[in-house]
Amino acid sequence: EDQVTQSPEALRLQEGESSSLNCSYTVSGLRGLFWYRQDPGKGPEFLFTLYSAGEEKEKERLKATLTKKESFLHITAPKPEDSATYLCAVRTAYGGATNKLIFGTGTLLAVQP
Amino acid sequence: DAGITQSPRHKVTETGTPVTLRCHQTENHRYMYWYRQDPGHGLRLIHYSYGVKDTDKGEVSDGYSVSRSKTEDFLLTLESATSSQTSVYFCAISEASGSLNEQFFGPGTRLTVL
């Protein structure tokens, strides 16, 4: 069964304290891995798409990387405004043309000033 | 921001009553999706549409139906709401088939079934 697991469930950092969030997956043929940010009371906001092992993408203080088994979202020198829930999702070979995604349960990040 | 609106944004209803949630997009995207989000479960796909009048079931479709009569509108109906359908519902859109396009999400509808 296709599965996406995110860890840790929650992470508390001090402002400026860099860290990484993990998304591990067991799927039948990965066709894309997606990272989203979700603020309380809002819909998920798209951050990155990664397609193949070794690929990296960056946006401000965030960098996403991908291996054959997992993805990491690295947060460098975080600020309080980076506090949010970060969601990971995968598209599998069996998602077909409908682009269906399987989501993890997210990591709740809190950055304290 | 992707042009996606959901209505209503909040709704409280009673068990056994019908409820319809609306998703409206201005992006002319082909694919539309309804998800529910519950603590400990993440986002779970209810139904999706791959064109006008073309819909299919997701992983948690029992108790829900959908309709899409226009490209821009995707309706989710709970024929007889139950307390287990209390949740936050998100609509998403995606551009095209056969390519690795991300989904863009609406602001959500918080539904409470008493």
- Give the residue ranges of chain B where pLDDT is below 70: 1-2, 96-100
pLDDT of residue A27: 85
Between CA B89 and CA B87 the distance in angstroms is 6
- Find the CB nearest A51 among B44, B56, B100: B100
CB contact under 8 A, A100 and B108: no
For residue B107, give the nearest of A43, A99, A101 by CB distance. Answer: A43
A22–chain B Cβ distance below 8 A for any pair: no
Would you place residue A96 in the very low, low, confident or very high pLDDT band (cuts 50, 70, 90)? Answer: low
Work out the average pLDDT over A76-89.
97
Residues of B with CB under 8 A from a CB of A: 4, 31, 33, 40-45, 48, 50, 56, 58, 90, 94, 97-98, 100-108
Q: What residues in A contact B98, CB-CB < 8 Å?
A: 97
Model confidence at A97: pLDDT above 80:
no
